[in-house]
Structure 1
């Protein structure tokens, strides 16, 4: 049996059957039921489209990612992989859609095209038009990250404010009096990227509490930028003896920059930060860090979205992770002047 036969028996056009199966355009409930009755009568072998027709769902989740023109960081790729894995475990497919730049139409098709049952949105800004658009649409969604006011949203996030603050306190406890924050790119921070702003807030607060000198710098998400950042720090601020970073993609360059400067970690310089565990463990020596639970967060985002689909009246839930600082070999006592 094909679409033409279904259309003939249901007394509708082929395109109507196609719209009913794919959800690309609205079809009345009565027409949808008539088409489903034909499928049931002929004992058509169930497939994804037929099941979607019967359940009124696509069994597909949308995952909105940064634009393809910007290389995804390892952490972002981790979120994508774990969302896909968790969705498959619940018998859902995942439709990837870029947003930002020239991709507004792609995002709009996700919202209005009835292609997905719900959306997981990554890389959240403090003021995010995509969140506002999803709220107006009524389409269930979960954010990995959160806006400035996330009280009425479902979200999974890392508490960058607390974690960066803890890193600063750890370094201050070791006697460091001049500490730098290597943040994400200036472009992201200027756009209101949540983790960048919250990292800076935690850094500024902790610096003030401990009475130490702090310098915050932005860095692009790649190794050459990390190396260049260390070169600038050493040239302009040789008094700095430690840094905190939330830019894991820059870590290989940070390591090379310290090596080129002849600095031994942690004897001459200490490094701490927030990063996925393998990034921290691959640093030389292994980096003291709050290990981001990427796998848990991706799975939790899927579970929160499925909870909305099964219980539309459920109250929004927020999962905010504050993993402990794993003490490794990259932090040590501040070097004594002249040593």
Structure 2
């Protein structure tokens, strides 16, 4: 059943039915009643676009993810799932769109196409053109992550600098003096990926405070690269006894590389990091890590976005999370390497 059939049965034009449904132009009460009687008789349900026009809302939010084709980490998938779940509880739909490179056109359609009431932006860089574009558009948005100017937007983020420093201090407390930071992939870090830069700052600060020897490397986001990275680290820095990492996608390969080198975790070598809780718990042995509360972060991002949609002029809100390091099976007292 469509508007044309309703108009025919009610004896009015299609535009009159549309105006009655959307409220864009005044329609007499008598005509409204006649149209409503036909709608009730036919059990017609106005489509989403009509409801949106009437309410001034699409009841849809955009979720901008990393480029399509890039494998999302377990943590990133947790953000996506939590946003979708929280939006569903608020009776909102989610339009998922990639961004970056050839996908910038998709992002621009989200910004300009009036397809969403607001946007949640993932994987934010210290200098992020997408943030600049959204600020220009005045479309309400919230970041999972933040730029170099945190006051310019609303966001939810993990305190990677503090958490990485906690991992280093934990390893230092166990007697480890030679540590490596395994960061995300080099291209991402070079592009200004916020967590990568903040983790590096936390690592450097804690290493200096404890008088440790530290080395930093970037690693592609997959297990094979993790294994190769570990092999290179051991070859170039045989004195290493521990790794701190934010690259959860590479950790399984790190495990394999250590086993291949005849090193037992945690007896001979320790690993600590920042990772999604259920993923860290599923590793063998379970990873000692600061557990990123992906479920809470996605839900809070949706909550902040709903508030900004309702009141775009309200002051920006910020939520910075620093969960404790959960001690599991990958950290132990340092043993001198031979």
> After TM superposition, is the score higher than 0.5?
yes
2:201 is equivalent to residue 201 of structure 1: yes
Task: Deviation per CA, 1:226-279: give whole Å up to 9, x if none.
Answer: 000110011110101001000011111011011101001111111000001122
How much has 1:330 moved relative to structure 2?
Answer: 1.0
3-state DSSP of counterpart to 1:259? helix
Could you say which residue in structure 2 is the equivalent of 1:236?
236
Question: Taking structure 1 as the reference length, what is the TM-score of the superposition?
Answer: 0.90
Task: Deviation per CA, 1:280-333: give whole Å up to 9, x if none.
Answer: 122222211101101111111111111112233321111111000001121111
Cα distance change on mapping 1:40 and 1:300 into 2, 3 Å: farther
The separation in 2 between residues aligned to 1:84 and 1:186, in whole angstroms, is: 30
Write the mapping of 1:1-339 to structure 2, written as runs, cut at 5 A.
1-5=1-5, 9-10=12-13, 12=15, 30-31=24-25, 42-43=38-39, 44-336=44-336, 338=338
Asked whether the equivalents of residues 251 and 283 of structure 1 are also in contact (C-alpha less than 8 Å), the reply is: no
3-state DSSP of counterpart to 2:331? coil
3-state DSSP of counterpart to 1:146? coil
- Between stretches 105-114 and 70-79, larger displacement belongs to 70-79
The separation in 2 between residues aligned to 1:192 and 1:130, in whole angstroms, is: 13
3-state DSSP of counterpart to 1:45? coil
How much has 1:4 moved relative to structure 2?
Answer: 3.5
Q: CA RMSD in A?
A: 2.4
3-state DSSP of counterpart to 1:151? helix
The separation in 2 between residues aligned to 1:7 and 1:136, in whole angstroms, is: 41
The separation in 2 between residues aligned to 1:70 and 1:183, in whole angstroms, is: 17
Task: Deviation per CA, 1:184-239: give whole Å up to 9, x if none.
Answer: 00010011000101010100111111111100000011000100011001111010
Larger radius of gyration: 2
Structure 2: tracts of 5 or more residues without a match = none
Asked whether the equivalents of residues 178 and 240 of structure 1 are also in contact (C-alpha less than 8 Å), the reply is: yes
The separation in 1 between residues aligned to 2:192 and 2:13, in whole angstroms, is: 52
Task: Deviation per CA, 1:51-103: give whole Å up to 9, x if none.
Answer: 21210100000001111121111111111111111101110000011100101
3-state DSSP of counterpart to 2:150? coil
- How many matched pairs? 327
3-state DSSP of counterpart to 1:320? strand
The separation in 2 between residues aligned to 1:325 and 1:119, in whole angstroms, is: 31
Task: Deviation per CA, 1:123-159: give whole Å up to 9, x if none.
Answer: 0000000001001101000100110111031101100
Asked whether the equivalents of residues 266 and 329 of structure 1 are also in contact (C-alpha less than 8 Å), the reply is: yes
How much has 1:11 moved relative to structure 2?
Answer: 5.9
Cα distance change on mapping 1:235 and 1:134 into 2, 3 Å: same
The separation in 2 between residues aligned to 1:251 and 1:112, in whole angstroms, is: 40
Cα distance change on mapping 1:187 and 1:40 into 2, 3 Å: farther
3-state DSSP of counterpart to 1:102? helix
How much has 1:48 moved relative to structure 2?
Answer: 2.6
